[in-house]
Structure 1
Amino acid sequence: MSSPVSIPFQSYIRLNADDKTPIYLQIVFEFIKAIQTGLLPEGTRLPGTRLLCKLLSVNRNTLIKAFTDLELQGFIETLPNKGTFILSDQKQKPKTRRTAPTEQSSETRTSITFRQSSVLENPIEVSSLAYQFNDGWPDLRLVHTDVLARLYVSKLKRQKNTGAWQRMQTQSHKDFKRHFSNFLNLTRGLRISTSNLLTTSSHEISLYLVIKLLISAGDKVVVASPGYYLSNMTLSDSAAQIITIPTDHEGINTDHLRRVCEEQKIRVLYLTSNYHYPTTVSLSAKRRMEVLELAERYDFVIVEDDYDFDFHYDNNPILPLAAFDTHKRVVYLGSFARSLPSGFGYGFVTAPDGFIKELEKHQNILEPGVDIIKEQVLTEWIQEGEVHRLSKKNRKIYKERRDHFVSLLKENLGQRIKFEVPSRGLAIWVEWLDKFSLVRLQKECAARGLFLPNTILYQTRALTATRLGFGHLNKEEMETAVTILRTSLQAIR
């Protein structure tokens, strides 16, 4: 772990002297939020209290009081003569076996010096418990792996005796991009050609390339709060200055966004407009137009992330901002067919052709080759309508699961929660009406065989919420998981 002094605490520990909440509690809530979103991963060594007081401009007694509270809740651990460390509850080890991150073992000791990231630790946790919630993953048991495998093998055999391999590669990639751009135009209301499209191996690569090209150190980037932890990690690692704005039942607060734009120069607005992560709220039509207007007036770029477009349950899916972008202010990225098996999915970026050409230069370093056989298989699936048939079939299954999950939540937890039934996606944003520790609920659920990862838990002074993914669970698994959730809640109440 890099030196704690280099961690940009000021960028995500935000204190407000005018807030009625005591400063020490603000510190507690801000640290919990940073830990749960992955900005302060397990093992991060915090600066000494005197130095951190200077960084945050607070009284040392106030900071010590906040740290005492955080330690009692299990978020940090102080080791004598070694320092204070971020402690993940799921990975907590007995103190007698814990090694301070500053001590190098023989496996990590090296003479090579290199820059280490304090924000890119993988926040995804793995558990062997029988039942698990996640933040909205599809069910891989529904994947038509056999069909894809047969198509892939048949095309691979067909190319064994092909002579002009290089020419065939170039033509196949052009065909794939042509059919893929038509597919996006048809399903998302875009008006793009192949020159406006970049395909990548994953959604994460798309986001990384876009941020690398758009953002320089110190650029101001606006994100929603609460926000998407993976994108926030990538933005923080780019040394951007992150500015958060609140959300409500209509999406991001555009009045707040306007005030931010009036006060400082914004480079990028990162937005999940159709299906805000984590709250599942769609940006209202009025605010969509306001966002586009503000981008033009204040000269910033909208990075619109639409990774979950495939999972909508009505006949009129909400079109992305990119479909109405007359001023070419939107860089639209997403994923293609999240229901496909690992290795067959795609990420993509649509943007003005000059931007795409520059992205391709960077992609040629990260991904110098393309899987032509995979592209041919997916081209055939698009041509024959198989992608549409699979998507329609899966949407029906996931809609049935959503409705069953909603009925289970109402039946088992109806008096203790509030939520809106989402019209898209594979998760439900549940706000708890009672005030209790989500860490305690997490422990009680684990003791009964249900895993709640930190990435789905959201707790501040004003909010206690969880993002409960249902897509990967069948009806019987849902019933067991919700029963454990109800029993665990009763235990801590």
Structure 2
Amino acid sequence: MFPFKTSFTLDRKISQPLYLQLSNQFIQLIKEQKLPPKTKLPGSRTLAELLNIHRKTVVACYDELLLQGWVESIAKKGTFVHSNLPLLHQTEFSKSNFTSEKQKTGFSFYKSNVFNSVNSLQKEDVIYLNDGVSDQRLTPIEEIARTYRRITTKKNIFNHLGYNSVYGSDKLREVLVNYLNETRGLQTAKENVLITRGSQMGIWLSSQLLLKKEDVIVTGETNYASATTTFKNQQAILKTVLVDENGIVTENIESICKQQQIKAVYVTSHHHHPTTVTLSAERRIHLLNLSKQYNFAIIEDDYDYDFNYNHAPILPLKSHDTNGNVIYIGSVCKTVAPVFRVGYLIASKEFVDEAASRRKIVDRQGDELLELTFADFIKSGDLDRHIRKVMKIYKQRRDLFCDLLSKELSSFFQFEKPKGGMAVWAILNKKYSWKQVIEEAKKYQLEIGNYKRYDLHKINHNAIRIGFASYTEEEIYELISRFKKTMFAIKE
């Protein structure tokens, strides 16, 4: 006789109904073959008495098992484990091999060595270097929440809860057109705008439309790692050119164009990622002329346009584009907070239409309520007010960080004080390696991360980006202190 009384554990304190707890445990016993096909189950009254539960609970359990096909009811005989259930072939069950972290995959799938590893959870008391992100603690969350509440309580809000435009919220597209035309010198229309979930989606969509296997794209020798990874995933051929104090060297791009057809050039023209240099006016014009002459696309990633400390922002390449060669990509993620996945891709209507069709495959549409919120947030002037506020703070943090880095660690690092952005390009003295630094830094609760992503083309510049914007002045002092302990320990 099967020990029904001792085989079930029912917990009245949890939210799951008792009949479902019971039916799920029955299913597990059947899968483990402890209750094989044709096994007769106890009558509802008998089992209820054994488990000290109401008979209706057992009846509901049996009804559930019957509905799911695990048991069958035979008139005047009782309830039985279904006679036609096939045996489930599985490894011997144990908690160790069934936890999601340890369970092995039972099928083959395609892996890639192109992509970077995913981020792990961060620990307290450890300072993590980043490559230039905003301080989430400065996010105007009350203003955003207030706007969101106002949006969601409107009478017509239900019109925005279904499947709507894959292009993104019409209102946000209209607001962005006005905002970008006024602030960045663009001459664009709503039909040229596709709302994305951050700039990375814009880069990915552009790569999908522009690149197939062995198509050629040109980037800087130093380049934004996520963009490089995206292009490699398309099996494109990456041609790299020098980046100096005036940005990507367009004369080198011209030399490549004379030798072979290229499909695109990827450029972070405002503050080159990772070195922070700005593309000069002369090279901007040269690059635009080359794109017209050789019919290639320019993917302009304007990831931190808003942060300039010494002068007004330099207008993007897109503002001078009269030939439809520039794909302009940006977002509010860097400006406000990374969690708000609102970005945009601006290009010719036919390119935007195709990008929208491609986007639909992986992401039917964005978060329209969030997009409506940011439309109001931008239109009301809240975004500009936030930018003005954090600009002052980030400038102070830049000045302090660079001052301390220069005074305390000048024998170890060479750098130029950035004119904008949220990070410093720090070149390590060639006597030392970042591998050494990383291992030693861990002893002082300083986590530097994967330095290799800054040199995917292996030119051995021995530099990384170090962000300053996300740290308070107190945290900057502590960061430099831990860095100093690390470097002097290596020196000894």
Taking the aligned partners of 1:125 and 1:245, their CA distance within structure 2 comes to 33
For the pair 1:438 / 2:439, whether they are aligned, the reply is no
Q: What pairs up with 1:19-418 in 2 under 5 angstroms?
A: 107-111=103-107, 113-122=108-117, 124=119, 126-128=121-123, 129-159=125-155, 173-418=169-414
Name the counterpart of 2:480.
482
The amino acid across from 2:394 in the alignment is Y
Q: How many residues align?
A: 387
Per the normalisation by structure 1, the TM-score is 0.74
The amino acid across from 1:484 in the alignment is R
Does the aligned pair in 2 maintain the 1:457–1:465 contact within 8 Å? no
CA-atom RMSD in angstroms: 2.4
What's the CA shift for 1:190?
0.7
Does the aligned pair in 1 maintain the 2:163–2:365 contact within 8 Å? no
Does the aligned pair in 2 maintain the 1:172–1:376 contact within 8 Å? no
Closer/same/farther in 2, CA of residues 413 and 164 from structure 1, 3 Å limit: closer
Taking the aligned partners of 1:488 and 1:456, their CA distance within structure 2 comes to 19
Unpaired segments ≥5 residues, structure 1: 1-104
Taking the aligned partners of 2:163 and 2:131, their CA distance within structure 1 comes to 40
Greater shift, 360-369 or 243-252, is seen at 360-369
Taking the aligned partners of 1:225 and 1:163, their CA distance within structure 2 comes to 49
The amino acid across from 2:245 in the alignment is H
Closer/same/farther in 2, CA of residues 391 and 162 from structure 1, 3 Å limit: closer
What's the CA shift for 1:295?
1.4
Taking the aligned partners of 1:466 and 1:443, their CA distance within structure 2 comes to 16
Taking the aligned partners of 2:366 and 2:284, their CA distance within structure 1 comes to 35
The amino acid across from 2:466 in the alignment is L
Name the counterpart of 1:449.
445
Does the aligned pair in 2 maintain the 1:135–1:455 contact within 8 Å? no
What's the CA shift for 1:141?
0.6
Calculate percent identity across the aligned residue pairs: 31
| Partner-residue secondary structure (3-state), 2:242 | strand
Closer/same/farther in 2, CA of residues 230 and 322 from structure 1, 3 Å limit: same
What's the CA shift for 1:167?
10
Taking the aligned partners of 2:350 and 2:217, their CA distance within structure 1 comes to 22
Taking the aligned partners of 1:491 and 1:272, their CA distance within structure 2 comes to 37
Q: In structure 2, which of residues 450, 462, 465 is the aligned counterpart of residue 464 of structure 1?
A: 462
Per the normalisation by structure 2, the TM-score is 0.74
Does the aligned pair in 1 maintain the 2:130–2:467 contact within 8 Å? yes
Does the aligned pair in 2 maintain the 1:145–1:341 contact within 8 Å? no
Taking the aligned partners of 1:437 and 1:194, their CA distance within structure 2 comes to 49
What's the CA shift for 1:456?
7.1
The amino acid across from 1:480 in the alignment is E
What's the CA shift for 1:466?
2.2
Taking the aligned partners of 1:136 and 1:318, their CA distance within structure 2 comes to 19
Greater shift, 426-435 or 277-286, is seen at 426-435
Does the aligned pair in 1 maintain the 2:422–2:468 contact within 8 Å? yes
What's the CA shift for 1:169?
6.2
Does the aligned pair in 2 maintain the 1:310–1:338 contact within 8 Å? no
What's the CA shift for 1:458?
5.0
Taking the aligned partners of 1:172 and 1:463, their CA distance within structure 2 comes to 41
Taking the aligned partners of 2:341 and 2:283, their CA distance within structure 1 comes to 31
Q: Residue by residue, what CA displacement relative to the aligned partner does 1:88-133 show, whole Å, maximum 9, x if unpaired?
A: xxxxxxxxxxxxxxxxx9823323x433222124354554252121
Q: Residue by residue, what CA displacement relative to the aligned partner does 1:59-86 show, whole Å, maximum 9, x if unpaired?
A: xxxxxxxxxxxxxxxxxxxxxxxxxxxx
Closer/same/farther in 2, CA of residues 370 and 255 from structure 1, 3 Å limit: closer
Taking the aligned partners of 1:162 and 1:437, their CA distance within structure 2 comes to 56
Taking the aligned partners of 2:462 and 2:157, their CA distance within structure 1 comes to 60
Taking the aligned partners of 1:192 and 1:258, their CA distance within structure 2 comes to 28
Closer/same/farther in 2, CA of residues 190 and 397 from structure 1, 3 Å limit: same
Name the counterpart of 1:34.
none
| Partner-residue secondary structure (3-state), 1:387 | helix
Taking the aligned partners of 1:165 and 1:234, their CA distance within structure 2 comes to 32
Taking the aligned partners of 1:262 and 1:233, their CA distance within structure 2 comes to 26
Q: Residue by residue, what CA displacement relative to the aligned partner does 1:337-392 show, whole Å, maximum 9, x if unpaired?
A: 52434543411111111111111111222222343322222122222111110111
Does the aligned pair in 2 maintain the 1:456–1:468 contact within 8 Å? no
Taking the aligned partners of 2:483 and 2:382, their CA distance within structure 1 comes to 38
What's the CA shift for 1:166?
7.7
Q: Residue by residue, what CA displacement relative to the aligned partner does 1:410-465 show, whole Å, maximum 9, x if unpaired?
A: 11112433211111111000113342121111111110111101147757675221
| Partner-residue secondary structure (3-state), 1:266 | coil
Taking the aligned partners of 2:294 and 2:214, their CA distance within structure 1 comes to 18
Closer/same/farther in 2, CA of residues 430 and 166 from structure 1, 3 Å limit: closer
Q: Residue by residue, what CA displacement relative to the aligned partner does 1:151-193 show, whole Å, maximum 9, x if unpaired?
A: 212322334x767568996799222211111111122111101
Does the aligned pair in 2 maintain the 1:280–1:422 contact within 8 Å? yes
Does the aligned pair in 2 maintain the 1:119–1:233 contact within 8 Å? yes
Name the counterpart of 2:416.
420
